[in-house]
Amino acid sequence: MLGALLRVPADEVHRRILEGLHAQGFDDLQPAHMALLQWPGPQGRRPSDLAAHTGMSRQAVNYLLRQLEDLGYLARRDDTDDRRARRIELTERGRALVPAVRRIVRDIEQEWARELGPDEFEQLRDLLERLRDIVQDSDARRAPARR
């Protein structure tokens, strides 16, 4: 049940972010695009890194990147460190998403803090941060060493 308890609020946040972005003129974004735009975002990353981060195939990531590129949110540029690779660069329109998403999330957090009460909301936030750190540490221990 823990997965469902975490998923339901997360799904609501994602739904409201997309709904809020649509209301602010970013109405060409689709739910699938949000996987690539989630924190920490694609800026400066390689498509292969995004695939690993999202758990998606490279083909699926490149398909969505192509769509976001066609919509004017990002561009793929040659990697200055490795000419065989590409890096993602947000366009002006893509960079405009960042403050828009932050405003939407801030509004959601304020609403939930009113509903739960500020102390319980802070406790929830602290527990979720601890849980995130535990999961990330566990993932790091399981990841094969890079050579």
With beta carbons less than 8 A apart as the criterion, state whether 88 and 50 touch: yes
Q: Which residue has the higher pLDDT, 85 or 5?
A: 5
Q: Domain containing 54 — which CATH number? A: 1.10.10.10
**Number of structural domains, the chain?**
1
Q: Which residue has the higher pLDDT, 120 or 44?
A: 120
Residue 113 falls inside a structural domain: yes
147 part of a folded domain: no
User: What pLDDT was estimated at residue 82?
Assistant: 82
Q: Is residue 12 part of a domain?
A: yes
What's the whole-model pTM score? Answer: 0.84
pLDDT of residue 81: 83
If we measure between CA atoms, which residue out of 63, 85, 65, 61 comes closest to residue 75? 65
Residue 138 CA: distances (Å) to CA of 114, 135, 142: 33, 5, 6
Closest alpha carbon to 75 in 61, 94, 50:
94
Distance between alpha carbon 11 and the CA centroid of its chain, in Å?
13
pLDDT confidence band for 145 (50 / 70 / 90): low
The 10s digit of each residue's pLDDT in 58-114 is: 999 999 999 999 999 999 998 888 888 899 999 999 999 999 999 999 999 999 999
Residue position matching structure tokens 């758990």: 55
* Least-confidence region, from 67-71, 98-102, 115-119, 134-138: 134-138
Residues in a beta bridge with 89: 75
Q: Is 142's pLDDT higher than 90? A: no
Q: φ and ψ at 43, to 5 degrees? A: -50, 120
CA distances (Å), 59 to each of 7, 62, 123, in order? 26, 5, 40
User: What pLDDT does 147 receive?
Assistant: 44
pLDDT above 50: residue 55: yes
The span from the CA of 7 to the CA of 9, in Å, is 6
Number of Cβ atoms within 10 Å of the Cβ of 86 = 18
% of the chain beyond a pLDDT of 90? 76
Structural domain boundaries enclosing 110: 2-142
